[in-house]
């Protein structure tokens, strides 16, 4: 089987790039505040950094969608300055 060479995040079919508004403190710590999924903008009510690797920060978050609280996972790609979430 031939190898597939990835040229960045847009080649990753298991990830969806999303727009996030986030906050940084004086120490450079980041926290997501809002996420746009498709045309819908959702406020993030609870978020905490669940783990980190060399160039990835993983967050577990809760958003309010209509009248339901939904868990989502967000990942910040430090080298690319982009946010992603897993494709369901």
pLDDT, tens digit, for every residue of 4-36? 666 667 677 888 999 999 999 999 899 999 999
Long-range pairs, 45-50, Cβ under 8 A, ≥24: 45/69, 47/74
As a whole number of angstroms, the longest Cα–Cα distance in the chain is 48
Among candidate residues 54, 55, 48, the one with its CA nearest the CA of residue 74: 48
Residue 52 confidence (pLDDT):
86
Q: Given this model, what pLDDT does residue 7 score? A: 62
Q: Would you say 66 and 84 are in contact if contact means Cβ atoms under 8 Å apart?
A: no
* pTM confidence score: 0.84
Residues 55 and 9 sit within 8 Å (Cβ to Cβ): no
Q: Is residue 43 over pLDDT 80? A: yes
């Amino acid at each position: 089987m031939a190898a597939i060479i990835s040229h960045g995040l847009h080649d990753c079919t298991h990830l969806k790039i999303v727009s996030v508004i986030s906050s940084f403190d004086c120490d450079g710590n980041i926290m997501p505040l809002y996420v746009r999924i498709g045309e819908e903008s959702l406020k993030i009510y609870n978020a905490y950094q669940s783990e980190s690797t060399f160039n990835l920060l993983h967050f577990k978050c809760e958003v309010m969608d209509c009248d339901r609280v939904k868990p989502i996972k967000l990942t910040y790609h430090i080298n690319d300055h982009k946010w992603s979430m897993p494709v369901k």
